[in-house]
């Protein structure tokens, strides 16, 4: 069987998240249905990871097995023609049969966008979190550095969620300011449930002076969710890129 890898952009506000679930519009289900219509097969689409309702993607990656002999370069346009405009397959590539969108991940990059203008944006309101307060970007940048490296991120995962290990490596943690917007960009080998949104909430606490940058180290070591910041809203989050 052929193994096809897709790169997918989507507008998170239009869906109840990536994962297939009955009676709720979801991205996985929509794409599986679209590919099914084209290939005549029942498709099982494996993503690099789920994204929650409201979370956007510029680079979600997913793969599926097929016996179809549709030329690889025809896949994006064929699938897109069956999809709502809120999902766009940006590329299709034939990959080794052992390739697995989740298990083969080398790194994932997420971006969290904060709009600090006084009244927020009408046009971009579903793509950012409006927080109309002064944030000390330099302090946020200092704080972000403490997240880099291999750590047990137990303090930065949604409480009550289980996963075998909460040890992850963040390769790069950046805070970038551009006019009225602050972008928190995290690249790592994997992220726990809500981890990017909790790290972003913690960096906002650093930005308003509630937490000192160097306290991040203690919070990580405490492994206590209660010591970290709030989980920021889903709409500010975007999965930018997945590398293999």
What 13-22 contacts at long range (C-beta under 8 Å, 24+ apart), as own/partner pairs, is 13/54, 13/56, 13/126, 13/235, 14/84, 14/86, 15/53, 15/86, 16/53, 17/50, 17/51, 17/52, 17/53, 17/54, 17/55, 18/47, 18/49, 18/50, 18/51, 18/52, 18/60, 19/50
- The residue from 22, 85, 98, 162 that contacts a copy of itself (CB under 8 A) is 85
Question: Which residues ranging from 103 to 132 are in contact with a copy of itself (CB under 8 A)?
Answer: 117-123, 125, 127
For the question of residue 52 being annotated catalytic, the response is yes
- 165 lies in the binding site for a copy of itself (CB under 8 A): no
Rg for the chain (alpha carbons), in Å?
Answer: 19
Question: Which residues ranging from 45 to 74 are in contact with a copy of itself (CB under 8 A)?
Answer: 56, 58
Strands 87-95 vs 2-10: parallel, antiparallel or unpaired: antiparallel
- 240 lies in the binding site for a copy of itself (CB under 8 A): no
Stretch of residues binding a copy of itself (CB under 8 A), selected from 5-13, 16-24, 157-165, 195-203: 5-13
Active-site hit among 11, 44, 52, 136: 52
- 226 lies in the binding site for a copy of itself (CB under 8 A): no
Instruction: Using CB under 8 A, list all residues that contact a copy of itself.
Output: 9-11, 56, 58, 76-77, 80, 85-90, 117-123, 125, 127, 238
């Amino acid at each position: 069987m052929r193994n096809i890898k897709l790169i997918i952009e989507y507008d998170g506000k239009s869906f109840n998240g990536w994962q297939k679930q009955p009676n709720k519009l979801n991205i996985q289900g929509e794409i599986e249905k679209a590919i099914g219509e084209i290939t005549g097969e029942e498709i099982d689409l494996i993503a690099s990871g789920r994204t929650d309702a409201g979370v956007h993607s510029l680079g979600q990656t997913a793969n599926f097995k097929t016996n179809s002999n549709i030329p690889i370069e025809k896949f994006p346009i064929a699938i897109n023609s069956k999809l709502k405009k809120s999902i766009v397959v940006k590329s299709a590539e034939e990959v080794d049969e052992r390739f697995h969108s989740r298990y083969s991940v080398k790194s994932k990059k997420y971006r969290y966008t904060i709009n600090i203008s006084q009244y927020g944006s009408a046009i971009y309101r579903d793509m950012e979190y409006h927080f109309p307060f002064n944030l000390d970007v330099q302090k946020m940048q200092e704080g972000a550095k403490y997240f880099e490296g291999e750590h047990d991120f137990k303090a930065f995962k949604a409480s009550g969620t289980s996963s075998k290990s909460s040890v992850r490596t963040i390769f790069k943690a950046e805070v970038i300011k551009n006019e009225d917007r602050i972008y928190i960009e995290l690249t790592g080998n994997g992220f726990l449930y809500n981890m990017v949104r909790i790290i972003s909430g913690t960096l906002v606490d650093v930005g308003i002076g509630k937490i000192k940058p160097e306290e991040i180290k203690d919070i990580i070591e405490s492994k206590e969710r209660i010591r970290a910041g709030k989980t920021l809203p889903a709409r500010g989050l975007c999965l930018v890129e997945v590398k293999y």
